[in-house]
Amino acid sequence: MIKPIALLGKYTPTFPPHAATNAAIKHSRHLLGVDINAAWVSTEDIDPTLFEQYSGLWVAPGSPYKNMELALWAIRYARENNIPCFGTCGGFQHMVIEYARNVLSFKDAQHVEYDPPPQACSSPN
C-alpha cells in the first residue's frame, strides 16, 4: 500500500497556486502512470501521527501558515528521518528557515510575513 503525500497548508480553492498544485499532481499521475495521491493538511492539524499517514511532504505555497512552528517541526522531522520533502514558493522558504535554525544555528531566523520589519520613516526627523 502506498501512503499519500501530505500537502502542508490550508487549501484555498480560489488561490491559483493551490489549484496549480492539484493540477500538477493530476498531470503527474497521468503522465507517469503511477498512483500518486495527496491530501491537504492544514499546518494547525499537524501532529506526531502525520508520518504514519503520509510517506512524504510537499510544503505548499500560501504562507503565512496557520501554525509555523508545527510546519517547521514536520520539515525537520522529514529531514532528520530521510522522508521525501520539498517545498514550493513559501514552502521552500520555510524549509530554508528550518535549516537555518536547526543546522546552521541561526535561532532567530524568521520569515518577514510573521515578523515584519519596522516601517521606515519618510523623513529624517
- Domains of the chain: residue spans and CATH: 5-102 (3.40.50.880)
Q: How is residue 87 written as a grid cell?
A: 517545498
With 0.75 as the threshold, say if the pTM is over it: yes
What are 7-58's pLDDT values in tens digits?
A: 999 999 999 999 999 999 999 889 988 888 899 999 999 999 999 999 999 9
Q: Sort residue 33 into left (φ over 0), alpha (ψ -120 to 50) or beta.
A: left
pLDDT over 60 at 116, yes or no: yes
Residue 117 confidence (pLDDT): 65
Residue 53 confidence (pLDDT): 94
